[in-house]
C-alpha cells in the first residue's frame, strides 16, 4: 500500500485501486470482484474480473444490480439509489489503517431487499463508524431478482448467492492489503442478506472463510423450488417467451424489470405467493441451510449473533394502509395467516388470549413474524448454545404506526441515524445512547465474538435493546412460541373436530386475501 493524504493506493489481485480519505478513514468504492454478469455471462456463475493496468480510481460507488424501484408506498420509508452500468459485481472498503500490518477485524455486509432490491450504495450502510472504531467494513452488490435467483432448466441455480461467495473469497484473499485480518471475518446481513448468510455459512465451499456471522431479521432457509419456478413462469407468460435463461437473456432489461415488478406484486412476507429465493441446488446449497446448521456439522466453529425487531411486520403492513385493510378482512386474514404459517386454529386463538387488546392485523403480523423469524432463529440458537448471542431491537420509530419495525435498527447499527435516509424510517429524535449500544455490540462481536451479554443457554437469554438501559429477558415470548409446539402435537386438528367456517378455509382464504389486496398500493 502506498498512501498520501490525497488518496491511498492498494494493490488487489486484479490491479491497484486508489481510494479517498474521508473524516480520517480510507474509503475505496466500486472495486470489481467479478466480471460484469451480462452478455455471454448472463444467468451464469460469476467469473473473475478482467485485470487492469495502472491505478483504478475507487472514489465512487460502482453500478448497482438491475432492480425495479420500490412502490410509492414503500419509497416513502426506504431509499434505494440506482447507479447505472453493467459492472455491478463490485464492493466497497472502509478502513482506518490500509496496509498489511494492521490485521484488524473485518465485517462484510450483505444488504437486504427481498433479493429483488437494495444495494451497497444506500447511505444508511456507510461504513465510516465501523472503521472509526477499528473494524474494516466491506459492503457489496450482488445480482437480484430474476437475474440472481431465477430458476431455469438451462442455467445453474442461485447465481446471486454465487456472487456473494465470490465476493467473500475476494475478501479472504485481498483484505489484508486493506488492513484486515482474513482470519477474523464476520459476515453480517439483514433480511434477505441474513437469509443469504445462513446459506453461505452452511455452504461446503465457504467453510473456513468466516469466523463469525450476524443474522438480523432473516433466518437460514431455502425457498420451495416450485414457488420460484411459478414466479419465472408468470414472467414468461407476460413476456410470451419460454421460461428459459436463453429466452430471458434476449429480453430488454427495463422490460424485464417491469415484468418482474408486476409478477411479484403480492410476494410480501405476509401474503407469501411466488417469489425469488435461495433454493437447494445440490451444489452450493446441498440441503436446507437451517437443517445443515442445526443437524449437521456446517460452520461449527462460527460464532453467531442473532436478532430481530419487536414489530418486524409493521413495515410489511403499514405502507399503503394495509394494517387497516387486514383489520377489515378479519377472519379471512386470520385464516390466510394460518395457511401462510401452516398452523391450526389454536395458535391464533392462543395469541388472542395472550394479547386480548391486539388488533387483527397485529395478531396476523406477529404470527407471520414468529413463523418466519423467531421460531427458526430460536431453533438455530438452541442447536448452538455457548456460541450464539440473541437480541431484540425494541425501540419504536417516532413515525406513526411503525413501532420497532423491520429495518429500523440499521441506522443504529451503522451509526448513521443522522442521514436523511435513516430518518425516513426512524423519524426524529433517535436516542444517541441506543446507537452507542447497538453499534458497539456489533463492533465488539466482530472483534471478539462477544457482543457484551450472556450467550444462549437453557434459560434462553435475549438482550432487549430499546427505550432505557438494555436488559436481559429470559425466554421472552416463549408462551407464544410454545403454542406452535402444542399445535404441531395436535396435528392442527380444530377444537372439537369442527370444520372451519365456510369461506375461511386456509387455502381459499389466502387466495381471497391476495385478490382483495391486488388493487391496493404496496
- Catalytic, 191? Answer yes
Burial 407-446 (b: 16+ CB within 10 A, else e): bbbbbbbbbbbeeebbbbbbeeebeeebbebbbebbbbbb
- 225, 231, 232, 236: CA torsion to nearest 10: 150
Beta pairing class for 212-216 and 55-57 = unpaired
What would the DSSP string read from start to end of 179-200?
A: TEEEEEEEEEEETHHHHHHHHH
217 is catalytic: no
Distance CA 218, CA 374 (A): 9
Among residues 97, 147, 312, 346, the one annotated as catalytic is: 312
- Residue 196 catalytic? no
Q: 148: number of CA atoms within 13 Å, CB side?
A: 31
346-354 and 360-369 are packed helices; what angle lies between their axes, rounded to 10 degrees? Answer: 120
Cβ(407)–Cβ(473) under 8 Å?
no
Cell of residue 19, nine digits = 481510494
Spot the catalytic one: 174, 191, 196, 267. 191
Distance CA 419, CA 123 (A): 7
| Residue tagged 435493546 (cell numbers) | 465
CB burial of residue 51 (10 Å; 0-12, 13-18, 19+): exposed
Is the torsion defined by CA of 188, 91, 284, 372 positive or negative? positive
Q: Give the CA distances from residue 291 to residues 222, 287, 294, 379, 467, in Å, rounded to whole numbers and listed in that order.
A: 10, 7, 5, 10, 35
Q: Which of 378, 406, 439, 522 is catalytic?
A: 406
Catalytic annotation, residues: 191, 312, 406
Amino acid at each position: 500500500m502506498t498512501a498520501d493524504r490525497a488518496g491511498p493506493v492498494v494493490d488487489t489481485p486484479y490491479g491497484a485501486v486508489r481510494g479517498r480519505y474521508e473524516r480520517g478513514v480510507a474509503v475505496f468504492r466500486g472495486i470489481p470482484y467479478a466480471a460484469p454478469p451480462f452478455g455471454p455471462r448472463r444467468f451464469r456463475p460469476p467469473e473473475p474480473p478482467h485485470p487492469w493496468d495502472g491505478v483504478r480510481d475507487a472514489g465512487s460507488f460502482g453500478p448497482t444490480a438491475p432492480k425495479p424501484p420500490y412502490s410509492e408506498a414503500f419509497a416513502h420509508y426506504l431509499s434505494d439509489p440506482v447507479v447505472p452500468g453493467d459492472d455491478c459485481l463490485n464492493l466497497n472498503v472502509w478502513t482506518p489503517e490500509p496496509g498489511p500490518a494492521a490485521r484488524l477485524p473485518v465485517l462484510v455486509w450483505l444488504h437486504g431487499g427481498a433479493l429483488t432490491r437494495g444495494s451497497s450504495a444506500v447511505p444508511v450502510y456507510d461504513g465510516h463508524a465501523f472503521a472509526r472504531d477499528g473494524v474494516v467494513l466491506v459492503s457489496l452488490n450482488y445480482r437480484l431478482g430474476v437475474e440472481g435467483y431465477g430458476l431455469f432448466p438451462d442455467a445453474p441455480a442461485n447465481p446471486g448467492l454465487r456472487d456473494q461467495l465470490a465476493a467473500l473469497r475476494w475478501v479472504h484473499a485481498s483484505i489484508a492489503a486493506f488492513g484486515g485480518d482474513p482470519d477474523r471475518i464476520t459476515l453480517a446481513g439483514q433480511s434477505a442478506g441474513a437469509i443469504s448468510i445462513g446459506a453461505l455459512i452452511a455452504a461446503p465451499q465457504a467453510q473456513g472463510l468466516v469466523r463469525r456471522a450476524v443474522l438480523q431479521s432473516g433466518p437460514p432457509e431455502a425457498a420451495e423450488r416450485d414457488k420460484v419456478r411459478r414466479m419465472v413462469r408468470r414472467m414468461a407468460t407476460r413476456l410470451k417467451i419460454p421460461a428459459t435463461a436463453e429466452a430471458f437473456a434476449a429480453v430488454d432489461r427495463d422490460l424485464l424489470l417491469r415484468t418482474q415488478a408486476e409478477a411479484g406484486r403480492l410476494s410480501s412476507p405476509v401474503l407469501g405467493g411466488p417469489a425469488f429465493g435461495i433454493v437447494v441446488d445440490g451444489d452450493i446449497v446441498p440441503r436446507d441451510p437451517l437443517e445443515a446448521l442445526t443437524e449437521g456439522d456446517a460452520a461449527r466453529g462460527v460464532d453467531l449473533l442473532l436478532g430481530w425487531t419487536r414489530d418486524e411486520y409493521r413495515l410489511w403492513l403499514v405502507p399503503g394502509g394495509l394494517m387497516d385493510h387486514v383489520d377489515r378482512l378479519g377472519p379471512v386474514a386470520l385464516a390466510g395467516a394460518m395457511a401462510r404459517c401452516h398452523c391450526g386454529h389454536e395458535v391464533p386463538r392462543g395469541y388472542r388470549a395472550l394479547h386480548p387488546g391486539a388488533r387483527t392485523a397485529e395478531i396476523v403480523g406477529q404470527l407471520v413474524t414468529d413463523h418466519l423469524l423467531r421460531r427458526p432463529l430460536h431453533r438455530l440458537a438452541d442447536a448452538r448454545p455457548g456460541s450464539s448471542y440473541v437480541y431484540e431491537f425494541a425501540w419504536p420509530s417516532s413515525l406513526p404506526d411503525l413501532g420497532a419495525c423491520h429495518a429500523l435498527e440499521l441506522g443504529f447499527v451503522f451509526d448513521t441515524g443522522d442521514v436523511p435516509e435513516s430518518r425516513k424510517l426512524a423519524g426524529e429524535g433517535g436516542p444517541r445512547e441506543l446507537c452507542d449500544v447497538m453499534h458497539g455490540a456489533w463492533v465488539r462481536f466482530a472483534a471478539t465474538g462477544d457482543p457484551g451479554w450472556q450467550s444462549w443457554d437453557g434459560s434462553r437469554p435475549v438482550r432487549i435493546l430499546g427505550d432505557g438501559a438494555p436488559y436481559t429477558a429470559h425466554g421472552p415470548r416463549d408462551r407464544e412460541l410454545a403454542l406452535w409446539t402444542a399445535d404441531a402435537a395436535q396435528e392442527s386438528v380444530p377444537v372439537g373436530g369442527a370444520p372451519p367456517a365456510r369461506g375461511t378455509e386456509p387455502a381459499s382464504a389466502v387466495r381471497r386475501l391476495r385478490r382483495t389486496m391486488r388493487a391496493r398500493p404496496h
